[in-house]
Structure 1
Amino acid sequence: MSTTIDKVATPAPMAAPRQRGYWGTVGYRLRHDPVTLCFGALLLAIILSAVFAPWLAPFDPYRESIIRRLKAPGYMGHMLGTDELGRDMLSRLLHGGRLTLTMGMVPVLLATLIGGGLGVVAGFLGGVANAAIMRVMDVFYAFPSVLLAVAISGAMGGGVLNGMIALTLVFIPPLCRVAETATTQVRNLDFVDAARATGAPLRLVLWHHVLGNVLGPILIYASSLISVGIILASGLSFLGLGVKPPEPDWGLMLNALRQAIYVSPLVAAMPGIAIFLTSVSLNMVSDGLRAAMDVRS
């Protein structure tokens, strides 16, 4: 008599979960953050519309027409109406975004390079070098950022270039402070001490061991300053210390249209709406990036 032994099928071993690296985890968190994705898409659309403004603008942004002054949206093909000189508002907003975004982003980039570099050097060297650099930064901290930007730009005579120089000088101290704090926390860690003990040159220790660990906080804080830069740049243009007429700029357009707020309130509010949407999008993306890069969460 033969006996049949039923073989019980053993389940296949489960595959081990794929380990993500740091940047893989950051990307995973961003992809599953609908709020950041939504505002990131809006911010990308604003940036692309400014970059491709010459091809997207339906009219010449400098063409004036007295008989078409302050017309409502939809008038004779003007989707967003016309301004106080009869110029197409959509075309002006698209071209104005180029100068406004440039004046908001370039100073933050320059300040990140200068202020971040000074902060890393001050935090790593410590002692007299730290005291000298940070005391100079404290002098700039004595003045409110808005008043300091207005004072520097006014003293230099206004204009796009002088406005960007003024904003760069305003943003250097806070970025230097963030970089110095992060570097001070990293410089005494074990892996930095081990690199020093092996006789590694100071340049390599800074580049490979220190900068890689402080770059994240610096970039996150710098991204949050871009919205501030756009608001300050628009404020300088609003006061006549930034972009000069007839160049399109959101702050300058807001100043020119403030007298028309009672005649055509929707048209007059459009530059302010553009500034608001851009600033909110930048802040939300910056907050999402900060949460995604937080390794403790």
Structure 2
Amino acid sequence: MSTAVSDTAAPDAAELALPTQRGYWGTVGYRLRYDHVTLFFGALLLLIILAAVAAPLLAPFDPYQESIIRRLKPPGYQDRYWLGTDELGRDMLSRLLHGGRITLTMGILPVIIATLIGGSLGVLAGFAGGVVNMSIMRVMDVFYAFPSVLLAVAISGAMGGGAVNGMIALTLVFIPPLCRVAETATTQVRNLDFVDAARATGAPMHLVVRHHVIGNVLGPILIYASSLVSVAIILASGLSFLGLGVKPPDPDWGLMLNALRQAIYVSPLVAAMPGIAILITSISMNLVSDGLRAAMDVRS
């Protein structure tokens, strides 16, 4: 009886840290398998993304259809307005679904582009060192002189606002920190014994970087990039809230929050829904990022 219980019990800390038996990524997946918090919020985040992608199929109404007689209708099952209507009588569920597509795109796409650009520059600066390192990192330090929120607002405002300009602004904001993380990780790896051994064998420099450096710095870069997605979602919503992001009548969670702020005393639940969507998505992304960081830390 005791043997059956021990076979089905969750592994202890010593069993979770066995990289020699499963390999690095196998160990990461094994740890995530028993991290129920990360799995739950990862599934919730995946559900949010799938709902946003399938918004045209799931939305019960046209998100742009207005009706003054239906304005600020409370949530309920009457007439299929499950989450009520906004200040112009548009279905809130439909606008939240379609708004998720825009908000998530403005949160994820800039981080992906910034990871590619900033990560490449950081690896180049860390591996080359010397003048190359100084030139790249001093340019990155110029961006560090400005708070990220003010820099995003300034760049987006100077470019005239809009969804595309907002994504460009967020990309420029996230390149310096990602470059810094990549440069720090590469500097630590380039002087390790296996890199020196690869150089001693006469391997071409690009192969050394590809097989021995990038593989060892990719983890920290991806972990940090995943933590920036929630920041990007909040910043993108903030830009739209200030009128520097998505323009009306396109649905966006930040823009919807701005439009409904005057209805907070009339229909508080409807007015709070875009903010709740931003909060749930950001918390889910943060917890998933923390879980990935813990699973990928081979020293834990």
Interval of TM-score (by shorter of Structure 1 and Structure 2): over 0.9
Q: 3-state SS of the aligned residue for 1:73? A: coil
* Distance in 1, Cα, partners of 2:295 & 2:56: 36
Q: Find out whether 1:26 has 2:23 as its counterpart.
A: no
> Aligned equivalents of 2:138 and 2:29: distance in 1?
38
| 1:64-106 deviation digits (Å, cap 9, x = unpaired) | 0000000100142100000000000000000000000000000
1:15-35 deviation line (CA, Å, top 9, x unaligned): xx9921211111111110110
Extract unaligned runs of 5+ from structure 2: 1-17
Aligned match of 1:274 = 277
Q: What does residue 182 of structure 2 align with?
A: 179
Superposed CA offset, 1:202-248 (max 9, x none): 11111011000000000000000000000000000001111000000
Q: 1 CA distance for matches of 2:278 and 2:296?
A: 27
CA distance in structure 1 between the aligned counterparts of 2:26 and 2:135, rounded to whole angstroms: 39
1:126 matches 2:154: no
2-side partners of 1:146 and 1:24: how far apart? 38
Q: Offset at 1:279? A: 0.1
Stretch deviating more after TM superposition (193-202 or 147-156): 193-202
The match for 1:111 among 107, 114, 122 is: 114
RMSD: 1.0
Which residue number in structure 1 is paired with residue 58 of structure 2? 56
Which residue number corresponds to residue 11 of structure 2? none
Q: CA deviation at 1:268?
A: 0.1
Corresponding position of 1:230: 233
Give structure 1 regions of 4+ aligned residues with deviation exceeding 2 angstroms.
Answer: none
The partner residue of 1:101 within 99, 104, 110 is 104
Equivalent-residue separation in structure 1 for 2:26 and 2:55 (angstroms): 34
CA distances 1:123-170 after superposition (whole Å, capped 9, x unpaired)? 001111101100000000000000000000000000111100000000
In structure 1, the residue matched to 2:210 is 207
Aligned to 1:143: 146
Q: Distance in 2 between matches of 1:117 and 1:40?
A: 28
Q: 2:91 aligns with which of 50, 73, 88?
A: 88
1:257 paired residue number:
260
Q: Counterparts of 1:76 and 1:204 in 2: how far apart (Å)?
A: 63
Find out whether 1:79 has 2:75 as its counterpart.
Answer: no
Q: Deviations over 1:277-296 (max 9, x none)?
A: 00000000000000000001
Aligned mates of 2:23, 2:195 — CA distance in 1:
21
2:143 and 2:24 mapped to 1: Cα distance? 36
Q: What letter is aligned with 1:270?
A: M
Partner secondary structure for residue 146 of structure 2: coil
Larger of the two Rg values belongs to structure: 1
Rounded Cα–Cα distance in structure 1 between residues aligned with 2:47 and 2:116: 27
1:260 and 1:160 map into 2 onto residues whose CA distance is 25
User: Which secondary structure state, in structure 2, belongs to the residue aligned with residue 76 of structure 1?
Assistant: helix
Q: Tell me the SS of whatever aligns to 2:86.
A: coil
Match of 1:44 in 2: 46
Match of 1:13 in 2: none
Q: Which runs of 5+ in 1 are unaligned?
A: 1-16
Which one of 68, 71, 76 corresponds to residue 69 of structure 1? 71
TM-score normalised to structure 1 length? 0.93
Distance 1:81 1:117 in 2: 47
Q: Which has the higher helix share?
A: 2
Write the letter of the residue equivalent to 2:49.
Answer: I
